[in-house]
Chains A and B, each alone.
Chain A
Amino acid sequence: GENVEQHPSTLSVQEGDSAVIKCTYSDSASNYFPWYKQELGKRPQLIIDIRSNVGEKKDQRIAVTLNKTAKHFSLHITETQPEDSAVYFCAASIGDSNYQLIWGAGTKLIIKP
């Protein structure tokens, strides 16, 4: 079946440094790629998303890049802050579905003071 692989599973960076999380998907028909942030004991929250007709999208300190040929996309967080500590999930639409996503297993991001 279709899947999304996410790496690394844990990422520890110094406060102020950049963090990059990478995901690879298998369904070449996927056209929507969101990223969610989940703080401990809280619900996942959408932080940024990208569609397949765009190669890069930025929102302040976060950005997502998409390489459709290689079927991978990445989350970039610059100037990391303590409040960035959380688990980050990537996801990809199942085909061009408006309803279903397949999820990565998550990356625990730790920001060291």
Chain B
Amino acid sequence: NAGVTQTPKFQVLKTGQSMTLQCAQDMNHNSMYWYRQDPGMGLRLIYYSASEGTTDKGEVPNGYNVSRLNKREFSLRLESAAPSQTSVYFCASSTRDRGPGYTFGSGTRLTVV
């Protein structure tokens, strides 16, 4: 049972490049989330998907897009990367019945130069 799997683990992009972060969970969770974590600022929600077929903006959605491909997979896309998007990105999932108690993926460390 892998839990929440994120790829890649590390990535360096040049300003203006695009990329997609992949996330998959095998726990049959309904809800999935993308967070970014910057030093001293805790975790900030980028987008979430309450259930398959729905996505909603979180606290910091600008510069990102998401796709809930199916119940297992939730991807995050940076269309034109900027240095301000340098961060650690975490995907998470949760079961609605238990409230928003998350299981996190291992994270993607993204550097935009």
Task: Identify the A interface with B (CB < 8 A).
Answer: 6, 32, 34, 42-46, 49, 51, 89, 91, 93, 97-106
| CB-based contact B100/A106 at 8 Å | no
Sampled A-B contacts (22; CB under 8 Å) = A6-B42, A34-B102, A43-B105, A43-B106, A44-B102, A44-B104, A49-B99, A89-B43, A93-B100, A97-B100, A98-B31, A98-B96, A98-B99, A99-B31, A99-B33, A99-B50, A99-B94, A99-B100, A100-B45, A101-B102, A103-B43, A105-B40
| CB-based contact B42/A101 at 8 Å | no
Q: Is the interface of A mostly helix, strand, loop or mixed?
A: strand
Tally of contact residues, B, Cβ under 8 A = 25
Inter-chain residue pair count (beta carbon < 8 A): 59
Task: Identify the B interface with A (CB < 8 A).
Answer: 31, 33, 40-45, 48, 50, 56, 58-59, 90, 94, 96, 99-107
A20→B90 CA distance, assembly (Å):
27
Given the contacts A100-B45, A101-B45, A46 and B102 also touching, CB distance less than 8 Å: yes
Q: How far is the CB of B58 from chain A (nearest CB, A)?
A: 7
Contact of B100 among A42, A44, A98, A104 (CB under 8 A): A98
| CB-based contact B43/A100 at 8 Å | no
Q: How far is the CB of B4 from chain A (nearest CB, A)?
A: 8
Residues of chain A lying within 8 A (CB to CB) of residue B104: 43-45
10 additional contacts (CB under 8 A) given A93-B100, A99-B48, A101-B45: A6-B42, A32-B99, A44-B43, A44-B102, A97-B100, A98-B100, A100-B58, A101-B100, A104-B42, A106-B40
